[in-house]
Structure 1
Amino acid sequence: MGSKMKKETTLMYALIPLLFLMGSLFYAIQIAQIDVHIPILASAFFAAGVAIFGLNYTWAEIEEGMIDTIKVSLQAIIILMIIGMVVGTWIQSGIVPTMIFYGLKILSPGIFLPATLIICAIVAVATGSSWTTAATVGIALIGVGEGLGIPRNIVAGAIISGAYMGDKLSPLSDTTNLAPAMAGTDLFTHIRHMLYTTVPSFIITLIMFAFLGRKYTGVALNTELIDKILGTLSGNFNLNPILLLVPVIVIGAVMMKVPAIPGLFGGAILGGIASIVFQGASVGSALTALHYGYSGETGLAMVDDLLNRGGLDSMMWTISLILCAMILGGIMEKTQMLATLALKILSVAHTTGDLILVSIITPIFVNTVAGDQYLSIVITGRMFKETYAERGLHPKNLSRSLEDSGTLTSPLIPWNTCGAYMIATLGLAPWTYVPYCFLNLINPVIAVIYGYTGFSIEKLDKNGDKAKENEKVEIEA
């Protein structure tokens, strides 16, 4: 088979595995009500069969594509493992209980959702990481919200909206650096151009959460329940404000450009040390929390449900889901199925508005099929870069679209690396939080509206030379 000439990957060959995937996911989610791991993995091997028997690819080539794509996700997988450890020791040490305790004392239901959005946006801009934001202030805000009687899914929507807004605009963010690199523009030109779509989206989101928060302002606060939670936390943990130095140190380390993996691992170790010093835990108990998470009985079921989690083992379900998605994505990219589907989408883009529309749709498609935001940015950027240049459009229009769509829609898809991470870290059920991720839903729509109206869509000069403009931007910066 290795000597056979490969056939062209036509639209039919590309659609067959996609239709199989859609059918498998529908059956798993709607009928069997099972996890999506096996349907995604089955779709991957179905796609491999199509490639081998229909397109004359060898298994060695397909395996190479799978492994190359898995390599792309390895950093995310390592971070996931470490985040599980962070959650385990930060709960056992009393860091998370202390954050929840003081949050319940300071925040009121009426301002909680807008405050959550703003807090997460600030932390994400400072750290450049939506993941770090969710794993630090995010898990504490979930507890505060539940104590105030606000459903977890709504709180998660505010956390994710704020975290991804900040991540998207931070010069420290990996995706914020990747998008302009793929499109062919510079970092600060890219960030400034994103303000046109991101700021209005954030203002609308802030208004929506403020309006939603009013619903809880008028509800009589269950002070008896809050007192029970406060009493339970103070009765089971040594709540000391000094413990808050640990998340401050971790966030500060990330701001100082300490790489995420050692920075977060240091946070997990600091949490273990704090559990020994402040809670009287043994070394063995701290190691157990790193591996299996925190487990305890506080006497209040609500608090137990909130705190009994974390640990390296808690992330294995999520990691296996990511690996299944990466196997499928790798096969479809290696065999040109994703490229064929993307080119077909591009063929219907006759106007500038159409081009922006497909630049928004394609990353969503790749996020869904390939399961990784980096692939959605790389594949779309690589494929559309020349088309933007041919049509005389500045590459910052493409880089903005890559983030407006690829970055922001990634946490909405449960089997995407970002979606799986948010579900595992914040303790969510798939899909239930999506309607409340207002910024992630609004921003792509605003980007499409701009494309058809022409607002903020900038063109290259007549010679197609953007060098002078970039030079000017760098001088101004």
Structure 2
Amino acid sequence: MGIDTYWAASAILCAAVIGDGLSPLSDTPNVIAGATNVDVFKSVIFQLPMTIPVILISFAFYAFMGVFGDVPMADTSTISNLVIAIEDSYNLGVWCLIPVILVFGLLIFEFPAIPAILIGILSAIGVAVVFQGQSIVNTVSAVWGGYHLVSDNKLIETLFSRGGISSMTGTAVLIIFSFGLFGILKLCNVLDVLVVPLTKKIKCRLSGVVCVIVLGFLANFSSSASFSEVFTGNIMTTVYDKAGLNRLDLTRAATVGCLVFSMFVPFTVMCATVTGFLGVDPVAMFKYYVSMPLYLIVILLITGFNLDKSLLAKMSKS
């Protein structure tokens, strides 16, 4: 399309990180909420004072780049070809949005994430069978084993060919074993070696947030953001409780340290996978990230000046 690859990847990755950290359907909020024993919806809502400024500033930056930056005009013929290829492959219509609307509607009413996803899957199966002409057997098989689209347009074929539930088993097993590992370490009092020194260092909200971010970032060198989330959440929950701090602060800081900063560790599964798919060098991408440094600046400002004091007090009572 004639657009600079790294700036395009920058916009995609920043949006992906923001969405991953803010969606109650994503693994990151659920793993962090599970590790800290905090309600996932409260955790997501508490992130809004941090995430909304990041979204607005990032959007303004990319809009400015698009209007005034040295960016070549996109080849719109490529977009037209993609739209035609999609229309040739699927029976498009408003009915395709039924699963999405249904899932988001359930989440608005704070319906549990897993049942909401299952309902979304069932509704998507219905849409595939009724409107796309797929058989029930093939659709259920695609849910588990993945789907491969056959198209004359290779880009569309790549974009719409994806693995199913079975492709996520590695991540699921890692999360399960991570929780199991920390259960064993806690039972053996091994975590006390880390908890006691950290408790002495944390004297206020700001020092607690800084400690969580640093620990989460360092834990990413295990090569897994999911492990970092479980590791940081389990250790810092005890620290926060002993220091008399609110766990909502912990969940928000863990999102920054474990998820956002995982993009600065090039061999983590998340960073390596998404940059590999986009065809960009993970280390060369560092200077193109816009939202990631903003997260750090905003959370430190909010916490340091207690700008969310009323929200924290309100959510602690509810």
Matches within 5 A, 1:143-154: 151-152=8-9, 154=11
Q: 1:320 to 1:420 in 2, by over 3 A?
A: farther
2:241 aligned residue: 385
Query: Quick one: distance in 1 between partners of 2:221 and 2:78?
Result: 41
Is 1:343 the counterpart of 2:223? The answer is no
- For 2:109, the aligned partner's letter is M
Is 1:411 the counterpart of 2:259? The answer is yes
Q: 1:341 to 1:207 in 2, by over 3 A?
A: farther
Structure 1 position 288, deviation (Å): 1.9
Matches within 5 A, 1:200-219: 200-214=53-67, 218-219=71-72
- For 1:456, the aligned partner's letter is N
Query: Quick one: distance in 2 between partners of 1:319 and 1:431?
Result: 27
Query: CA-to-partner distance for each residue in 1:184-211, whole Å, 9 max, x for gaps?
Result: xxx69x967x666555444433333334
- For 2:305, the aligned partner's letter is F
Q: 1:178 to 1:191 in 2, by over 3 A?
A: farther
1:371 aligned residue: 227
Q: 2:305 aligns with which of 440, 455, 458?
A: 455
Max Rg structure: 1
Structure 1 position 158, deviation (Å): 1.1
Query: Quick one: distance in 2 between partners of 1:340 and 1:431?
Result: 38
Aligned Cα root-mean-square deviation (Å): 4.7
Q: 1:295 aligns with which of 148, 152, 160?
A: 148
Query: Quick one: distance in 1 between partners of 2:274 and 2:105?
Result: 21
Query: Quick one: distance in 1 between partners of 2:291 and 2:196?
Result: 28
1:432 aligned residue: 282
Q: 1:361 to 1:333 in 2, by over 3 A?
A: farther
- For 1:154, the aligned partner's letter is A
Structure 2: stretches of 5+ with no match in the other structure? none
Q: Is the 8 A contact 1:180 1:399 kept in 2?
A: no
1:230 aligned residue: 83
Query: Quick one: distance in 2 between partners of 1:340 and 1:315?
Result: 34
% of aligned pairs identical?
A: 18
Structure 1: stretches of 5+ with no match in the other structure? 1-108, 111-145, 390-394, 460-468
Q: 1:380 to 1:371 in 2, by over 3 A?
A: same
Q: 1:174 to 1:449 in 2, by over 3 A?
A: same
TM (norm. structure 1) is 0.49
Is 1:241 the counterpart of 2:91? The answer is no
Query: CA-to-partner distance for each residue in 1:137-181, whole Å, 9 max, x for gaps?
Result: xxxxxxxxx9xx9745631321322442566xxxx9885798696
1:280 aligned residue: 133
Q: Is the 8 A contact 1:179 1:377 kept in 2?
A: yes
Q: 1:259 to 1:299 in 2, by over 3 A?
A: same
Q: 1:382 to 1:218 in 2, by over 3 A?
A: same
Q: Is the 8 A contact 2:55 2:291 kept in 1?
A: yes
Q: Is the 8 A contact 1:318 1:420 kept in 2?
A: no
Matches within 5 A, 1:35-434: 151-152=8-9, 154-165=11-22, 197-214=50-67, 218-323=71-176, 325-326=178-179, 329-330=182-183, 332-348=185-201, 354=207, 356-365=209-218, 371=227, 373=229, 375-387=231-243, 389=244, 395-396=245-246, 399-400=248-249, 402-412=250-260, 413=262, 428=277, 432=282
